[in-house]
């Protein structure tokens, strides 16, 4: 990476550093709190992030995605749904990263219910994210959220599946084929 592209990438962060330092000088009475808060957050990050991101890389390399996708078609039943959850849970990245993958799933014949479950699992059941949530917000918080999210994902997928007509789903499948 060249210095120029590095600068471009971190330009916003550098601007923020300048603003932060300016803030410290302009409001000395608030500086202590701002510094302490920043240090606390940095400490959490440095402590927790290394293993999380190693795990993220390991999941990415070892989970055979192609194979999982092959078994998610119509009539795959519980197994297909479970695979949808697993596929979402080992994912990394923000929700919008799931849409292109969902298009691939639909293209390979995954049932719409399984695609919806996959989207739900990606949005909120990611394993590295769950571990990180547990570290920063507490085990009770993260586990409670996980427990309510699993039925929630199914409920949302179920209602959405009922809400859409066969024709709607047909349209989505052909559109996703083109969007890829």
Which residues 103-132 are close enough to bind other proteins by CB under 8 A? 103, 116, 119-120, 123-124, 126, 129, 131-132
* Cα 151 to Cα 146: distance, rounded to the nearest angstrom: 9
- Shortest approach of other proteins to residue 70 CB, angstroms? 21
Pick the stretch among 39-47, 72-80, 82-90 that binds other proteins (CB under 8 A): 39-47
Q: Which of 73, 82, 86, 149 binds other proteins (CB under 8 A)?
A: 149
- Shortest approach of other proteins to residue 126 CB, angstroms? 8
* 110, β-bridge pairs: 73
Judged by CB under 8 A, the chain residues 55 through 84 that form the site for other proteins are: 55-58, 60-62
**Does residue 150 interact with other proteins by CB under 8 A?**
no
For other proteins, the closer CB: 114 or 176: 176
* Cα 72 to Cα 81: distance, rounded to the nearest angstrom: 7
Q: DSSP string spanning 98-135?
A: HHHHHHHHHHTTB-HHHHHHHHHHHHH--HHHHHHHHH
Count of residues near other proteins by CB under 8 A: 82
Residue 42 sits at the vertex; the CA angle it makes with 36 and 47, to the nearest 5 degrees, is 130
Largest CA distance in the chain: 65
Distance of CA 174 to the CA centre of its chain: 25
- Shortest approach of other proteins to residue 127 CB, angstroms? 11
Q: Which of 67, 78, 94, 166 binds other proteins (CB under 8 A)?
A: 94
């Amino acid at each position: 990476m060249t210095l120029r592209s590095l600068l471009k990438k971190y330009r916003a962060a550098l601007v923020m550093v300048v603003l932060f330092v300016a803030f410290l000088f302009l409001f000395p009475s608030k500086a202590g709190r701002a510094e302490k808060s920043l240090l606390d957050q940095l400490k959490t990050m440095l402590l927790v992030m290394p293993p999380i991101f190693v795990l993220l890389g390991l999941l990415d390399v070892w989970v055979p995605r192609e194979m999982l996708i092959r078994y998610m078609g119509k009539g795959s039943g519980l197994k297909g749904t479970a695979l949808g959850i697993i596929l979402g849970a080992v994912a990394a990245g923000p929700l919008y990263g799931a849409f292109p993958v969902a298009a691939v799933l639909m293209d390979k014949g995954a049932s719409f219910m399984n695609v919806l479950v996959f989207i739900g699992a990606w949005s909120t059941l990611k394993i590295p994210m769950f571990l990180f949530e547990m570290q920063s917000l507490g085990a009770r918080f993260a586990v409670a959220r996980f427990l309510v999210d699993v039925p929630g994902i199914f409920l949302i997928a179920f209602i959405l599946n009922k809400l859409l007509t066969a024709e709607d789903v047909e349209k989505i499948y052909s559109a996703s084929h083109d969007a890829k």
